[in-house]
């Protein structure tokens, strides 16, 4: 908490310096406002966009809090923000995004606006690095709050890392992929990540069956 307070304090000092102030009286941070539980998905999205809980706040171009229907029956969780998503500010960008979009529209017969798509880690990491455990821990409360606000019938995790984050289950991914798992009060179904399917097209038939399982649960 102290680290977060320091970041907020530093941000305010830089803002005041840019306005021409050389000295200010002591001021304190309103902790209650900073840590109050959000009352809506919109408020939560604002908190994500202004978050300074980890070092990614220093390097990000923006936070990607989520996209889609706030009352969606289907919620899709990716692990981290890709370079293409970050640079285009679009969730369904690049070959992987187009593949996911086709899964949703052509197999599930839904529009991308009908589902809610988000990431476990909300900001892109530096270069091609994978998020650290501390970066995921900083985002964890945001993700689970999103799930509680949206109340989907089905949660779909894309790939091994997203599944591990959400469930804290380190079982072999192939042992759980495509299975309907009782997770809290939701049905959770892990599937291969679209990027992994692009590298392994022979697995598309398996994923087609997994998508039919998802559809049957909606």
What pLDDT digit, counting tens, does each position of 30-88 carry?
433 445 678 889 999 988 888 888 888 777 888 888 999 999 999 999 999 888 888 88
Give the pLDDT confidence score for residue 23 in this predicted structure. Answer: 54
Residue 58: CB atoms within 10 Å: 10
CA distance 210 to 62: 33
Average pLDDT of every residue of the chain:
86
Residue 51 near residue 35 (C-beta atoms within 8 A): no
The architecture (CATH level 2) of 41-217 comes to 3-Layer(aba) Sandwich (3.40)
pTM of the model: 0.81
Give the pLDDT confidence score for residue 25 in this predicted structure. Answer: 53
CA distance 148 to 84: 28
Give the pLDDT confidence score for residue 12 in this predicted structure. Answer: 64
Q: Is the pLDDT of residue 28 over 50?
A: no
pLDDT (mean) for 16-20: 65
pLDDT (mean) for 194-212: 96
Give the pLDDT confidence score for residue 199 in this predicted structure. Answer: 96
C-alpha separations of 108 from 59, 180, 188, 211 in Å:
36, 16, 16, 7
Delimit the domains of the chain by residue range: 1-36, 41-217
pLDDT (mean) for 141-154: 94
* pLDDT tens-digit map of 169-201: 888 999 999 999 999 899 999 999 999 999 999
């Amino acid at each position: 908490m102290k680290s977060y307070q320091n970041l907020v304090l530093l941000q305010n000092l830089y803002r005041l310096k840019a306005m021409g102030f050389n000295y200010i009286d002591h001021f304190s941070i309103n902790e209650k406002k900073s840590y109050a539980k959000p009352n809506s998905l919109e408020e939560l999205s604002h908190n994500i966009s202004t978050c300074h809980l980890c070092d990614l706040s220093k390097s990000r171009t923006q936070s990607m809090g989520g996209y889609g229907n706030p009352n969606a029956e289907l919620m899709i969780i990716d692990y981290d923000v890709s370079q293409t998503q970050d640079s285009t500010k679009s969730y369904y960008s690049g070959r992987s995004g187009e593949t996911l979009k086709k899964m949703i529209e052509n197999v599930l017969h839904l529009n991308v606006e009908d589902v809610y798509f988000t990431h476990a880690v909300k900001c892109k990491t530096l270069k091609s690095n994978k998020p650290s455990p501390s970066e995921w821990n900083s985002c964890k409360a945001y993700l689970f709050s999103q799930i509680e606000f949206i109340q989907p019938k089905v949660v779909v995790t894309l790939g091994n890392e997203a599944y591990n984050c959400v469930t804290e289950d380190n079982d072999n991914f192939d042992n759980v992929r495509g299975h309907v798992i009782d997770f809290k009060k939701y049905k959770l179904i892990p599937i291969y990540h679209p990027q992994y399917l692009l590298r392994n097209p022979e697995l598309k038939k398996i994923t087609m069956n997994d998508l039919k399982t998802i559809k049957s649960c909606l």
